[in-house]
Structure 1
């Protein structure tokens, strides 16, 4: 029996010989408006922090302000370290030799993010760490070794913990009798560095901002560029941040579920039906990890794209 329509079928879009590429994630240019980021304790449990520890690190959730324009920035500033938060700095590894900066900034912990694809190879970058200046100042060195850029999502938890542990350790060993004039509850300062201070170390700092402030990718990149304009993340790394945000959301969901199953029976709550997932206008009420509406238009019952059409039918 002859199959009807095979010879008369025509494709509705051009053929391609390569896999589809992911869309480019546009980084926001340095914000032209001032905005503040507020501490969010939502991820505290996901980071193994108690509320007291979180409040100590963030100095009772003190807000941080992002500058409004690029005025004052020049190309040479990429060689400096910049204050991202009251307790967190970002810069190139060359600042590890700048005794005046380390002393004046009060750096207490340095976290070098080292790209070490081959641990047996001795290079200037995979040996970034303690030197005569840091030993003289008594600065703690706590490196993070990365063997592949694909490994970053699994390293973010370790990186966030290293930063927070560095703050908590110093705050507990050097307790303040009273809060500082600027409202800080500790004087710990953590410096994250890599070869340039613009790439892998910037990615670690972006992951830290996402976790501590529960920020979207757009807000994270906007705030980071307002503090260090030369920070530049590749598309792959931006997707790592999106993955990290989803991991944090999953941890929050697990924590919430663990709490909810402890509720007595009959305390309320029921499984939603499919109809309940849509608003009155028929649109899905679900949202994605970055606060964007989830589009379910690719479901079979609402699929508009047809890869082939019957040419005979089109002529009728």
Structure 2
């Protein structure tokens, strides 16, 4: 029986040792055949290859309710939803190339996985081989879910599915995403009152600038009028 779904680690108050254990994973012995199956990454999240999405019996036994199908458009004939009447699907057409932008597509994938968790469901994320494409999305998800560094998130996923190997471009984006999600957290944690004060101060500064600008314009007009009167007297 899997443990209950855990909130981000910063909200759990877990110790550094517990976090290390979480990243290390169960330490199951890995065999080549396991790459053809899916592995539990989090209690509500599984990662695997195309084969893992083909067995209705296995999917139901694992309690899968949602399936995120990630594929190159050229693979659409094979990598596709197979049981749309049984599971909720999301299909993303993504090229497994170093130039493909994953960060832009990640928010939709994250929301789909989170939606499954909110419904007490479980999501299988798969691509064709479960080696590069789908693992990249899962690593970014785990990183933000537990508020980890990109390295810890990669190790957490790798310690459960040993065969993953995101391509170089994906790995670069995984590293970049750490800064992106942490910036979002910093904004969320910025006290609301401070944001109000900052907004009010900016408004007051803008008003001061307007007053100063109007005073400057008034002084300029007075000077111009004086100069015109002086010219008229000299004429």
TM-score normalised to structure 1 length: 0.52
Please name the residue that 1:105 is paired with: 62
| Aligned residues: CA RMSD | 3.2
Q: 2:180 aligns with which of 230, 247, 268?
A: 247
Larger radius of gyration: 2
Contact preservation (8 Å) 2:23, 2:153: no
Please name the residue that 1:164 is paired with: 114
Q: 2:79 aligns with which of 128, 132, 138?
A: 128
SS of the aligned residue for 2:174 comes to: helix
Please name the residue that 2:50 is paired with: 93
Q: 1:193 aligns with which of 107, 126, 132?
A: 126
Q: Partners of 1:204 and 1:144 in 2: how far apart?
A: 11
SS of the aligned residue for 1:215 comes to: coil
Gaps of 5+ in 1: 1-37, 43-50, 56-61, 117-122, 172-185, 266-316
Q: Partners of 2:28 and 2:187 in 1: how far apart?
A: 44
Bigger mean CA offset, 100-109 vs 247-256: 247-256
The Cα of 1:114 is off from its aligned counterpart by: 1.4
Report matched runs for 1:1-316 at 5 Å.
39-40=7-8, 65-67=22-24, 72-116=29-73, 123-125=74-76, 128-131=79-82, 134-135=83-84, 138-147=86-95, 149-168=99-118, 171=119, 186=120, 188-257=121-190, 259=192, 260-263=194-197
Gaps of 5+ in 2: 1-5, 13-17, 200-235
Contact preservation (8 Å) 2:48, 2:127: yes
Q: Partners of 2:60 and 2:77 in 1: how far apart?
A: 25
Bigger mean CA offset, 239-248 vs 85-94: 239-248
Contact preservation (8 Å) 1:112, 1:128: yes
Contact preservation (8 Å) 1:93, 1:196: yes
Q: Partners of 2:143 and 2:137 in 1: how far apart?
A: 10
The Cα of 1:67 is off from its aligned counterpart by: 4.4
Q: Compared with structure 1, are the counterparts of its residues 227 and 263 closer, same or farther at alpha carbon in structure 2 (3 Å cutoff)?
A: same
Structure having the higher helix fraction is: 2
Q: Aligned residues, how many?
A: 187
Contact preservation (8 Å) 1:114, 1:126: no
TM-score normalised to structure 2 length: 0.69
